[in-house]
Structures are given as structure tokens and as C-alpha cells.
Structure 1
Amino acid sequence: MTPDGSARALRPLAERVNAPARLSVPDGAGGLHWRELHTGDLHALGQLVRRIEDADDPPYRTSEEEVAEYYDDSHAWSGLGAWDADGTLRAFGFVRIRHGDITLLRAFCSGGVDPAWRGRGVGSALMDWQVARARQMVVAVGREAPARIVVHVDDGMDAMASVLASRGFTPRRWYMEMRRDLSVPIPQVTLGTHLSVEPWTPELDDAVRRAHNKAFGDHWGSQPHTPETWQQGRTHFAPAWSFVALDRSTDRTQVAGYLLSGRYEHDWPALGWSEGYTEIIGVLPEWRGRHVASALLTRAMRAYAADGMQYAGLDVDADNPTGAPTLFAHLGYERTRGSAMYTIEF
């Protein structure tokens, strides 16, 4: 299958990707010294990310723990940094491919340039390196499958969108951030016999992982999680705000749905409000249409409100095949901002 779900014969991946045999760092671009990043650069990287976000003022902030996730070993990763003459990191870029990708290889690119060094060709040099490095890394996986290079672009980042378009990227998917005012009464949702929403526990977590792989198997671009990749990105996981819908209608309890939350206190000043954030919500096909998602969401809303949160937040693919945006709107969620996924497809 191709990335868009259509069936056609694919040429060998190495032929489609056309990766460069050798790749040099863009040394000298912007008057900076470039070299590969390693874990010893974490402090400098965190300081650079802070300067970028302080200048651009996005409605979030990246914590030190989240910066460290660039080096997470659930991904194959490659990073590049650029230093000025005083030894200050002024630009960075990462390319990351999750080890669990099987039927679709995804090379995620992320990075940024110090505001003081913009307009000198640094960002363009960095993007060219990332695209070329992503091509190399996709081929190095050694798996014959469709592949894509991915960059996420927030609303308003028109200059970035233009840079990507000039390098062959196309917007492929759109996402919405939404919030729900918790001062508005939360509806009561009744589930059928043998169905209940219960607190998440570590003992349930691997069953939730397996349920997630099944629930998202029909979603665009989704790939299954291994036990290792499932744990990635949990720096701000909130167990007390996470729930599992269980079906006990047989002698074997089954996961019907799940909701995992995050607590991002460092984002709240930039957002302008406090919120409980729904990271992942899923309902398995057999239980869709039985109010399981609504029961999970309202249970989480009550947990957020009990801890003094002003809003419930989440993000959603605008073309979600389960009709999730309509459900969220029905429960009182409203769009706050959006983003787009730009890709090069192979």
C-alpha cells in the first residue's frame, strides 16, 4: 500500500528516495561552525529552544525533559547544531524515525534558528541538510515500505511553509487544537451493562497499548507501538487524569477504550489558562457508537476540574475517520489554533 492507502507496485525504496551517498555539514553557513549534536549538548540545546520560544511566543513552552526526548532511544535519530565563534549554539535540527514503523517509514524533522541569526541563510541550510539526512536514514532502515519526510507547521508560520514548498513538501493533513471550558456543566454519560470507566493503572498499560494499535489501525499514517515506543513522550504523563473503559461481559475483561492525559504546567503561562490535556483517546471498533468516548472524556473533565483546571484540551486530525471533531464539538470543545503536516512522499 502507498502512504495514501492506494495499492500500486513500488520501485525499491533506494531508487525512490535517491539518498545522497555522502552528506557534508553546511559548515560556514551563516558564519557558524556546524557539527553533529550529541547528548552532551543537551544544556545548550535547552537554552536555544528557550530563546526561540521566548522570541516567537508560541502558546506552549518546551520543558527540559521534553528537549531530552530528542535523544530518545525509541527512535533512530540524527542531529545537527551550529555554533558561533563564542561557542553558543545558534541553530539545531533533528531527524527521527521511530523504530516501530513497519508498513510506513516516517522521518520527522524538527529544529529552529536563534532569532539573532535569522535572515542569514541558516534555516535554509539546515532544512537542506535535514531533507538529505532523512533520505539517508529512511534507506538505512533497510525495510521496503512507503516512506515520507514530515514537518509540522503551526498556523501563522508562512515563511516556514514557503521554505518547505520550495523543497518539494506538500501540506497533507490538518490538525486542530481544541479546548472545553470546565466551568460549563459537564454532562452525565451512562454506559451499557458490563461497561465501566476506571482509573488507568500500570498493570493495564500494555493492554491499553495493544488496544491502541487496534483502534488506530485504520487511521491515516498510523503505525503500531512497541512496548518501548509506547513509553516514549511520557515526561508529563498524568496517571490520575487517565482512564480505561473496560468490558466485563465475558470471563475475560477487555479494553473497550482509553484516555491518557498530560499535565503541562510549564505551558499554562503561555496559553493564558490552565488545562488538563488529553494526549490520546481511542475506542476499539467493536465498541464505537456506544458512548464510550463521551464517557471517557467527561470522566477526564471531572478529574481536571477537581484539580482546579480551567479547561480540558486536546488536538485532533481534522479528517479523523471516526468523526471525533464532531463529538468534541458536541461536548463543548472549541478550536483554538491549528497546524498542518507537510510531507515529501516516496
Structure 2
Amino acid sequence: MPGAWNSSDAARETPDEPLVVRAQAPDVLPPLPETGGLTWRALTPADAEDLTTFIAHIEEVDNPPYRTSPEEVADYFDDEGHDYSGIGGFDADGILHAFAFARLRRADAEIKRVFISGGLEPSLRDQGIGSAVLDWQIARARQILARADGADDPVARGRLLLHVDDDQTSLVRLLTTRGFTEARHYSQMRRDLSRPIPEVAVEWPLTVEPWTPALDDAVRRAHNAAFHDLWGAQPLSPQDWQAERAHHVPEWSFVALDRSSDRAQVAGYLMSGRYEQDWHALGWTEGYTEILGVLPAWRGRHVASGLLAHAMRAYAADGMQYAGLDVDADDPSGAIGLFEHLGYERVRGSVVYTLEV
């Protein structure tokens, strides 16, 4: 999604001490403030509805170019795929005014990532609450890393990370004072679908075909292979693959197949999502390209362009105004140039900040 490693992450030297030692997990977590009359307790799935309402309130005030769906909130409490810890700050009437999560993806292998997220009632900002909560999250993340599977292996690495939108300057100041650094830059791009969509031909034995459930696991395995050497990539299990596609739209998704033999091989794939909850905040409707990949053996053969053209036509046929996607601006493959050639334009950006352990 970044002090930092290069795009393969393999260039970093192997640490001398196991992760359980490097994590420097505290025995006691730092205290949380009572400012604003808040009392703190662990969040559970029973709090999902209140958390959804509170996040909607924050987003209505801050007006980011997205909105968080109930399905995305429910994912915070996924204890099968994640080792998570969440806390909430409540007033005397039991109303939620702050929350914070630290979530480790259990399937992570060599790089153990703890994702940090949270929110604070706008009227309670600039009172030191956010700073104290971030300290709690960092300490809790270190505890989670220390108990992760494989934490006694010197090869295992730890990474705390979170995405920061372009305008979140106060959060950036908090992060940098605690040792976080910019690791990866992302550009959100859109393509006006009222403009002519180019014809992109892929040559036989390559074909671009609709995604089907029967192809899904082959696409997952192709995705793991295509992204193996990219920054921060981790293999996705079948369960993780499904969990990351709550908004998947089958009719907007396509697979490039090599049919040179009687057993077709996945050469590339494009998976799309429909995020209707974002459209009002964005100011337009869009079909969103969630994942686009081409395997090394088929790069340079217009596979990505062909997939994008098919997706754009599908979005337009469904009445969408734009095609949208996020791209790693630091990716040396030149993906941004490809998108710009097809008419995509940058509309905003975000940065991944990390603390490496």
C-alpha cells in the first residue's frame, strides 16, 4: 500500500537478533488520557455498529474522498485473519469519541506487518489525545509482533504502517516524531469514460476473457507470482484473497489467458470493485480497478492495456462516469506512464509511513 527497503525488500541485511527481541515489547502499555471525560475499554464485534456510526461522523466532518462501509468496519474485528487489538474512548453516556486499532495479518511470513488505524472526535483534537493514543498503538503493536508466529527467527522482520492522505499534516508530525518515515507514495488516478476508449488488441494465443469463479484460484496464484518481488508484497492465502475483495464486481473483472496449450495459463488479470459509498464524497461514479497484474513471461505484450480497455468498457456500459485506480508512484516498472497513456489523470495522493522493527 513504506525507512525503508527497496522494491524487493530483499536488499536489507538479516538482523542479528530475533524479532521477539527487536520488537522491544513493553510489559505495561502507556496510559490513555481521561481528557474530555473519556474512559477506555477494548472494542469487540458488538461495537461494530457504533464504530460504523462514529467513523461516518468523522468522515462527514473531515470530508475525505472516500467513505468507510460497514463491511470494512467489520473487517477490523477479523480474528481469523488478524491478530488485532482495538480500544475505544467513551463518554459518560457510553458514546464513542475515539478508537484505535493495531492489526497483524496472520499470514504474513518474512515481514510481519501491523496496520495502525484510528479516529478522534473532531472537537477533541489538539488536546494531546491523539498523541497518547498513537503511543499506545505503537506499544501494543510491539507486543503483537513479539508474540507473532516465527518471532524467534532472526530472519523475521517487523513493520508498523499506516496510510496518510496528502492533507493530514498533523498526523505526519506525530508520526515523524516517533520515528516513522515515508516509505511509499501512491497516486489516485481517474479516467473520464465519456472520452473514446482505445481498442487494444492482444495477439493469439492470448485472449482477454471475463473472470469466473472457476478461474479465481488460478488468478490468486498468478497474483502471488506477479507481485512476489514488489515492495511489501506478501502471499495471499485463499482466505485472505476472499477477505480483501468484499466489494468485488465479477462483471467488471477480466483475465488474460494464454491458450497455446490445452491447459490455459493466466497471463494477467484485472479485478474490479464497486464502492458506492464513496461516490458522493468523490463527486462522481466510478468503476474501481482494485488489482491489476501481468506475469513476467507475458509483459511487454499489451496485456495490461488490453485488460484496462475491457474494464473501462464494462464500467461505461454500467453507467459509470470514471475509471479509478491507485498506483504505486515509486514502482520502477513505469505503471504511471501506462495509465497516463490510456488517459488516466492524477487526482490526489497518499503516503505509507512505516516504523521498521
TM-score range, shorter chain: over 0.9
How far residue 9 of structure 1 moved from its aligned partner, in angstroms, is 3.1
Selected match of 1:120 from 121, 127, 133: 127
Distance in 2 separating the partners of 1:128 and 1:271:
32
> Where does 1:221-300 land on structure 2 (aligned, <5 Å)?
221-300=232-311
| Secondary structure at 1:192 match in 2 | coil
Tell whether the 8 Å contact from 1:63 to 1:266 is kept in structure 2 after alignment: yes
Distance in 1 separating the partners of 2:276 and 2:162:
26
Equivalent position of 1:41 in the other structure: 47
Equivalent position of 1:310 in the other structure: 321
Equivalent position of 1:8 in the other structure: 13
How far residue 305 of structure 1 moved from its aligned partner, in angstroms, is 0.3
| Secondary structure at 1:105 match in 2 | strand
Unaligned runs of 5+ in 2: none
Equivalent position of 2:333 in the other structure: 322
Distance in 2 separating the partners of 1:118 and 1:84:
15
Unaligned runs of 5+ in 1: none
Q: What is the root-mean-square deviation in Å for CA atoms of aligned residues?
A: 1.3
- Bigger RCO (CA 8 Å, 6+ sep): 2
The one-letter code sitting in structure 2 at the alignment partner of 1:87 is G
Distance in 1 separating the partners of 2:60 and 2:48:
18
Q: How many residues get paired?
A: 345
Flag the 1:205–1:115 CA change in 2: closer, same or farther, 3 A.
same
Distance in 2 separating the partners of 1:340 and 1:250:
43
Mapped pair 1:69 → 2:80: no
Selected match of 1:57 from 55, 58, 63: 63
Tell whether the 8 Å contact from 2:33 to 2:129 is kept in structure 1 after alignment: no
Distance in 2 separating the partners of 1:9 and 1:307:
50
| Secondary structure at 1:49 match in 2 | helix
Superposed CA offset, 1:317-342 (max 9, x none): 00123221110011010000000011
Percent identity between the two aligned chains: 59
Distance in 2 separating the partners of 1:175 and 1:107:
19
Superposed CA offset, 1:126-156 (max 9, x none): 1111101111111111313111100110001
Mapped pair 1:343 → 2:354: yes
Distance in 1 separating the partners of 2:72 and 2:159:
24
Tell whether the 8 Å contact from 1:241 to 1:260 is kept in structure 2 after alignment: yes
Distance in 1 separating the partners of 2:45 and 2:341:
45
Does 82-91 or 59-68 show the bigger shift? 59-68
The one-letter code sitting in structure 2 at the alignment partner of 1:123 is G
The one-letter code sitting in structure 2 at the alignment partner of 1:298 is A
The one-letter code sitting in structure 2 at the alignment partner of 1:74 is G
Tell whether the 8 Å contact from 1:30 to 1:122 is kept in structure 2 after alignment: no
